[in-house]
Amino acid sequence: AQSVTQPDIHITVSEGASLELRCNYSYGATPYLFWYVQSPGQGLQLLLKYFSGDTLVQGIKGFEAEFKRSQSSFNLRKPSVHWSDAAEYFCAVGGFGNEKLTFGTGTRLTIIP
């Protein structure tokens, strides 16, 4: 079975501060890992994905994520957040031939001035 845990339901960060959103996964084979972002009333947008290679993955909007196999983690980071980053962030896991993603419950990010 595949699963994703995002332990933080809600995070508040000051504009300009650094950000780290946590994600732990469970998957029986080599995982594909994703981070998506959802703004209110909208669909999800792909930030980045990882399958193999360099364990530090660069995405759009200045985000990056680091895959740590030993910790079954795929945490999302950004060095300096902007007010426009306020949204809900979802981590997801899947596998080749599976044709479905399992999403975490999401982390809502609030940015304060």
* Nearest distance from C-beta of residue 105 to other proteins, angstroms: 5
Q: If binding is defined by CB under 8 A, does position 99 make contact with other proteins?
A: yes
Q: If binding is defined by CB under 8 A, does position 102 make contact with other proteins?
A: yes
Angstrom distances, CA of residue 101 to CA of 9, 16, 32, 82, 95: 20, 32, 9, 28, 8
* Nearest distance from C-beta of residue 86 to other proteins, angstroms: 18
Cβ–Cβ under 8 Å, residues 49 and 74: no
- Complex with other proteins: residue 2 or 15, whichever CB lies closer: 2
* Nearest distance from C-beta of residue 4 to other proteins, angstroms: 10
* Nearest distance from C-beta of residue 102 to other proteins, angstroms: 7
Query: Which residues sit at the interface with other proteins, rule CB under 8 A?
Result: 32, 34, 36, 41-46, 49, 51, 90, 94-96, 98-106
